Amino acid sequence: MKASSKNLLATLRGARQERPALWLMRQAGRYLPEYRALRETKGGFLELCYDPEAAAEVTLQPIRRFGFDGSILFSDILVVPHALGQHLWFEAGEGPRLAPPLVDATLASLEAAPERLDPIYATVARVASALPPETTFLGFAGSPWTVATYMVAGQGSKDQAAARRMAFGDPEGFQTIIDAIVDVTVNYLAGQIEHGVEAVQLFDSWAGSLSPAQFERWVIAPNAEIVRRLKAIHPDTPVIGFPKGAGGKLRAYADETRVDAIGLDETVDPVWADAALPPHLPVQGNLDPLALVAGGEALDAAIDRILVAFPARPHIFNLGHGIVPDTPIAHVEHLIRRVRGG
């Protein structure tokens, strides 16, 4: 099938659709009963990520149920620090842990284990061979700043204070961590592409915690380097940048990273984004995930505001962040009908 017949891929390449292509961040996951049933048989989250058969099944579940235009690889951004040599596990009810945290250790003390990414590539190959021909396959990685915040603290945090302190107090040391993440991420995304993904997304979930100068150094510069190096290897593969919380810094991010599309979080006014971003740059977003939980008139109004905000710009309809576990299936079905005009 020609790439142009894939609505999402065509949008990423600059073609505006009569109705936007549609997928949802974290669409493969805990809100689906079939996911919960499979996870019960497979154990923990990380075990699921590293089981190619199971991870492929999870990736495909929302496509079978909803027929989204895009399928996003089921994995986790922390497989990159795992490949860099940190120990990775998930504490029940508390989230991921990485050891040793780099606030107390050096990157040089880690023993790299790139083979830990091999099961992810196996998952990609399985999914690529099973997707419907009209569905675009999306890979992803965490952006260096967000990944570094976990590597430094050894876990997630509300304000990313440990990483921010290191970035101010030891910028050379922090740069070493960022550079290592960039190197692995370029190879990781290239590997995903070589095994079958057709576009990739860079998730910078904690980009909003930085001042403009820090944003320039720790968000824009490393993402620009990833895009530059990845395009040298795979020039035709679109890259979506998602700097959550960037707000008014989105234009600089778009101009300087040279991503092919920008993801907008739910705090961004889509009308402002249409006026502020480079003309014809594809955008993705940006329904509030909690509007999808609420449903009813609030959901319809939010959907409609987004649908009319981009009169001439290529647009992929998505959430402003990941779908939450208590999202009703019926609300997702309603969203799909309304966006597609059904």
**What are the E-state strand segments in the chain?**
21-22, 70-72, 87-91, 95-99, 136-142, 199-204, 239-243, 261-263, 283-287, 315-319
User: φ and ψ at 242, to 5 degrees?
Assistant: -130, 85
Distances (CA, A) of 31 to 167, 250, 299, 309, 331: 36, 30, 18, 29, 11
Cα dihedral: 5, 119, 87, 112 (round 10)? -90
Is residue 57 a contact partner of residue 32, using CB atoms and an 8 Å limit? Answer: no
Task: Label the pairing between strands 239-243 and 315-319.
Answer: unpaired
Residue 219 DSSP code:
I
Q: Using CA atoms, how far apart are residues 312 and 1, in angstroms rounded to an integer?
A: 26
Q: Using CA atoms, how far apart are residues 296 and 33, in angstroms rounded to an integer?
A: 22
Q: Using CA atoms, how far apart are residues 323 and 298, in angstroms rounded to an integer?
A: 17
Residue 218 DSSP code:
I
Catalytic residues: 26, 30, 39, 76, 150
Q: Using CA atoms, how far apart are residues 128 and 20, in angstroms rounded to an integer?
A: 23
Q: Using CA atoms, how far apart are residues 135 and 125, in angstroms rounded to an integer?
A: 15
Q: CB-based burial of residue 79 (10 Å sphere; 0-12 exposed, 13-18 middle, 19+ buried)?
A: buried
Estimate to the nearest angstrom the gap between the alpha carbon of 35 and the chain centroid. 19
Is residue 123 a contact partner of residue 74, using CB atoms and an 8 Å limit? Answer: yes
